[in-house]
Chain A
């Protein structure tokens, strides 16, 4: 598999930062960075990461189910993650989640038919003092109201 030169550089660096013989340490960062580029963790990617880190494909495969950010199924181009954990719940996170499901018309870890937007109800994302919080891909949005979420979604639709 070939990746962008930026990602190749990142991989090359990753393989040098762990002690000799410990390249398996790079498995999780490599999977996450590669997933960002190709959209999901594919069987080819598992083989490739195993080959580059010296791990077995099974050792690579077994971490995917454990880490909630890694996924084998492609999600939307814009992945909307809404936190409903305790601090967000108290500030309307659950209502925000329900609103998003109705507005977008998909459920947890589902994407729209055009593949543009997907939703996920997530656990604490570390924005508790600015709740309710939403992450669109890696971007944080704080003090999100249903109206603010509507504007955000409309904005994403326009970018397409």
Chain B
């Protein structure tokens, strides 16, 4: 059973097996061109595989959007250390629920992607780091891995090529920060997920201080189609400098929330109106987060003519991020949205860098006070200033992730902060239940 109906405007490359009977099984995978890309890659030189990845214009799908082929090319092939492939399946960016489906419906595509990465950088072992909450996926992926071993697609001398590759799953235990590559590697070593100082980058010193290719699930899942059909074919699906498709999670106030595979460069308005079926209850759009709660918020006016791709979003001063689209209708209180987002980052800050640890907690308290109707006019500027003081001052992007949406909300919805002044309760929740006034009191942290 699928979570949502596919939409005719989708371009189904990575999700082509979704909805097939036993789509996660080896039989279905083999019957639908499965593992053909591995056979092809095994006959290619490693440099050719990396070149094909570069031609595909695939950019990392976890959020940062770094060109994948280039990332792989940084691994020193001549290093005497063992090399590793690590799959980031710690999907936890609020608004994002796509990697879950890729592993649930098509785990062999992910396995094949890691195998090809292994061929490209001469790695012989890989780990799939799956967030702890996704326990059912660990069972699905473990089963697929066992099938791959049984069919000779994992283990020693794979398909007679002389190439060895071992693949394992590894569970996280609940930490957003572990989705950050260096924190994930710390966690994989059994430690607290504290980010590492870079350089050296994981390509040179990653898992177990060895050269490591670390990519998001969706990035690895794009590898088999790229190698099978050629990098140029994948690049042609998207736009210049951003090839292929992006799994996009429509969430919030839309009529048809769901995960849809759309070409890069897909128009935002078509995505919201056609694919998402318009705003819930026929209301108007107020704001929109393009790729998870770390991205600057865009207004309805900014969505005009905007397309879903890295450069277009950068031009609009936001980010494509992870593809977690959060849609907010005209009745949404943006102070409340800012507060809820900040509450998340304050909870998830690992505490390593002071600007992030102190900044997120302070901002959470300020926003809480504001939403409760006890804010002062000077606080509005203070919220913006505090957030700006976190930007670029932390070892990992969590500080920026907390600051960027906050800065954008203060700038673009300044009047909503003003509307909360002078001891009023939240003016956007008039007529709602009395609960909503204390709705965001965090039970976990004493204020």
Interface residues of A (CB under 8 A from B): 17-19, 22, 24-29, 31-33, 53, 55, 59, 62-63, 66-70, 84-87, 89-91, 94-95, 98, 107-109, 121, 123-131, 135, 138-140, 142
Contact = CB atoms under 8 A, between A and B. Distances in A.
B443 to A, nearest CB: 4
A129 B97 contact: yes
Interface of B: 3-4, 82, 91-97, 99-100, 125, 127, 131-136, 166, 168, 170-176, 187-193, 208, 249-253, 257-259, 289, 293, 324, 326-328, 332, 336-337, 340-341, 344, 347-348, 350, 433, 435-436, 439-440, 443-444
A19 B82 contact: yes
Contacts of B3: 129-130, 142
30 contacts: A19-B82, A19-B125, A22-B208, A27-B190, A28-B172, A28-B173, A31-B173, A32-B132, A66-B175, A68-B174, A69-B133, A69-B173, A85-B94, A85-B293, A86-B252, A86-B340, A87-B252, A89-B336, A89-B340, A95-B435, A98-B435, A126-B96, A126-B99, A126-B134, A127-B100, A128-B94, A128-B251, A129-B250, A135-B133, A139-B136
- In this complex, the member of B4, B94, B328, B433 whose beta carbon has the largest number of chain A beta carbons within 10 angstroms is B94
Contact of A29 (B133, B170, B193): B170
Given A89-B340, A123-B344, A108 B174 contact: no
Nearest to B170: A29
B245 to A, nearest CB: 17
Which 8 A-B residue pairs are closest in the complex by CB-CB distance? A69-B174, A67-B173, A68-B174, A27-B190, A87-B251, A24-B190, A108-B443, A138-B135
A22 B439 CA distance: 45
- In this complex, the member of A29, A66, A86, A90 whose beta carbon has the largest number of chain B beta carbons within 10 angstroms is A86
Contacts of B134: 126
A90 B283 CA distance: 14
Contacts of A130: 3-4, 97, 257
A108 B444 contact: yes
A91 B257 CA distance: 11
Given A19-B125, A138-B135, A142-B3, 15 more contacts: A22-B189, A63-B191, A66-B350, A68-B174, A86-B94, A90-B327, A90-B332, A98-B439, A123-B347, A124-B93, A128-B257, A128-B326, A129-B250, A129-B258, A129-B259
B192 A62 contact: yes
Nearest to B250: A129
A26 B169 CA distance: 11
Nearest to B92: A124
A101 B166 CA distance: 46
A53 B190 CA distance: 10
Given A90-B253, A108-B443, A126 B341 contact: no
B171 A28 contact: yes
B170 A25 contact: yes
